[in-house]
Structure 1
Amino acid sequence: MPGRLKQVRQVFLDMDGTIYHGETLFPTTIPFLDFLKERGIGYAFLSNNSSFSTAEYVEKLRGMGIESGPENFYTSTCYTIDYLKRKCPEIRKLHLFGMPCIRPEFEAAGFELTDTEPQAVVVAFHRDFHYRDLCRAAWFLRQGVPGYATHPDVFCPTDLPTWLPDCGAVTKCLEASTNVKLKVLGKPDPGMLVEAAARRGVGTGECLMAGDRLATDIALGVNAGALTCHILAPGADLVVPEGIRPDYQVNNLGELKRIWEHV
């Protein structure tokens, strides 16, 4: 395994639960990123959370002391756009069930967002929807319009005294109420890591995927043939998946850094 660490040219990091929790940056994050820079290893943040735009993530990390740009992020929104353009080029008109902040990303990619006669329904993590929005998405699905979900997470982590049902929970609601299956993208779909790695000119075998969720972060790396590191975090997985074994398991990125320093 140490030999494979020597081959890593690109590290992909989950965000919440891996580099920060809620609004609190972990003290091991910046030293780990500095370590990667010193070794000439690229890094990017890979998130399933489609309720924030890339620009908002850039600002969030800047507020935590991490200077980054859009090129340092690849979200499930990005992957959904790439997937539709690559696999379904005939689809240009979308009904988006999602936060207003991600609409410009679809529009910049050439999609028309519409509430009438869409060619596909895209379900994202929507933190501010009304019941009528859910009903509208369900109506299109019942009319035979194909549906795509940005990611499968059923809850989103938070450091606040609340619980956040995520895109996966809404997807299950829509599927149950319409008897229609949606195509679920995002981690652990290996295509997400393949696309993110290709953007950076590396193969997945030269990548390391680090995250706190076995069911999404680590399964993504395993499915795509990348090296994996599980950051231990209680409650990250509601149900621990069987058969997903990370290459490394540590308490934080500082521990991974110490392992890597001796390779």
Structure 2
Amino acid sequence: MERQLKSVRMVFLDMDGTIYHGGTLFPTTLPFLEFLRKRGIGYAFLSNNSSYSTEEYVAKLHRMGIETTAENFYTSTCYTIDFLKRNHPEIKRIHLFGMPCIRPEFTAAGFEFDDETPQAVIVAFHRAFHYDDLCRTAYLLRKGIPGFATHPDVYCPTDQPTWLPDCGAITRCLEVSTNTKLKVLGKPDPGMLREAAARYAVPVEQCLMAGDRLATDIALGQNAGAVTCHILQPGADLVVPENIHPDFQVNNLGELQRIWEHV
């Protein structure tokens, strides 16, 4: 099985639960990234969390001691934009149910915001919405405007004494209340990893996907045909999925590094 690592040219890393938890960087993260640099292996951070902009993620990792740029990130927001442009080039006007910080990413991609006559409704992880925002989004979906959700996660991990319902939970609320279905993007949709790999000009078969959630991170890699590494974090999956089998299963990135060093 270790032979699979020989062909890996690009590593995609989930963030919370894989390289850090909340505001705490895992001690194995920086040594692992340095190991990849020395081996000439690329890496990028792949996140479903669409409540932060890429610039905010760059700043967060910088505060943790990881020097990186926007080029090292591919989020579910990025994938939603790529998916729409590739599969629905006719969509130009959107209604966004999401944090204000991600609006510039849609604007930069050529989309316009229209809360009256949009061609599509985009549902992201919104941590600061007013009930009226939810109602407006539901109204547009009920009118028949097609809806797209950035990712299916029903909760977001945190190291604080609270619980964070995520985009998947909001999506289900909207679907039930309007009797409609949204197209759900993000991990584990294999298209997300294929689009990310294409950005770095690496065949997906030469990529490794590492993350703590079997249902999203590992399923993504398995669905796309990449090598997978499950980082064990108790409780990461609310419901443990069947038929998801990672190529490697370790407690942290340090253990993966030690395996790789002997390949």
Q: TM-score, with normalisation over the residues of structure 1?
A: 1.00
Counterparts of 1:155 and 1:200, CA distance in 2: 29
Aligned to 2:134: 134
Aligned to 1:179: 179
The correspondence of residues 204-243 of structure 1 with structure 2, limited to 5 A, is 204-243=204-243
Letter in 2 for 1:130: H
SS of corresponding position for 2:246: coil
Question: Is 1:98 the equivalent of 2:98?
Answer: yes
Question: Is 1:167 the equivalent of 2:167?
Answer: yes
The correspondence of residues 1-263 of structure 1 with structure 2, limited to 5 A, is 1-263=1-263
Counterparts of 1:100 and 1:72, CA distance in 2: 22
Letter in 1 for 2:197: A
Letter in 2 for 1:26: F
Deviation at 1:248, TM superposition (A): 0.3
Counterparts of 2:110 and 2:45, CA distance in 1: 24
Counterparts of 1:49 and 1:26, CA distance in 2: 19
Deviation at 1:116, TM superposition (A): 1.0
Q: Share of identical aligned residues, percent?
A: 78
Counterparts of 1:175 and 1:60, CA distance in 2: 33
SS of corresponding position for 1:202: coil
Counterparts of 1:21 and 1:244, CA distance in 2: 23
Counterparts of 1:8 and 1:46, CA distance in 2: 16
Deviation at 1:40, TM superposition (A): 0.1
Counterparts of 2:237 and 2:113, CA distance in 1: 34
Letter in 1 for 2:54: T
Counterparts of 1:251 and 1:142, CA distance in 2: 45
Instruction: Say how many residue pairs are matched.
Output: 263
Deviation at 1:25, TM superposition (A): 0.1
Counterparts of 1:117 and 1:239, CA distance in 2: 38
Counterparts of 1:214 and 1:113, CA distance in 2: 35
SS of corresponding position for 1:46: strand
Counterparts of 2:66 and 2:153, CA distance in 1: 26
SS of corresponding position for 1:122: strand
Counterparts of 2:202 and 2:105, CA distance in 1: 24
Deviations 1:197-216 (A, max 9, x none): 00000111000000000000
Counterparts of 2:248 and 2:214, CA distance in 1: 12
Counterparts of 1:161 and 1:235, CA distance in 2: 15
Letter in 2 for 1:114: D
Letter in 1 for 2:55: A
Letter in 1 for 2:28: T
Structure 1 vs Structure 2 CA RMSD: 0.3
Counterparts of 1:124 and 1:212, CA distance in 2: 21
Letter in 1 for 2:76: S
Deviations 1:26-48 (A, max 9, x none): 00000000000000000000000
Counterparts of 1:42 and 1:187, CA distance in 2: 20
Letter in 1 for 2:217: D
Structure 1 gap ranges (5+): none
Deviation at 1:114, TM superposition (A): 1.5
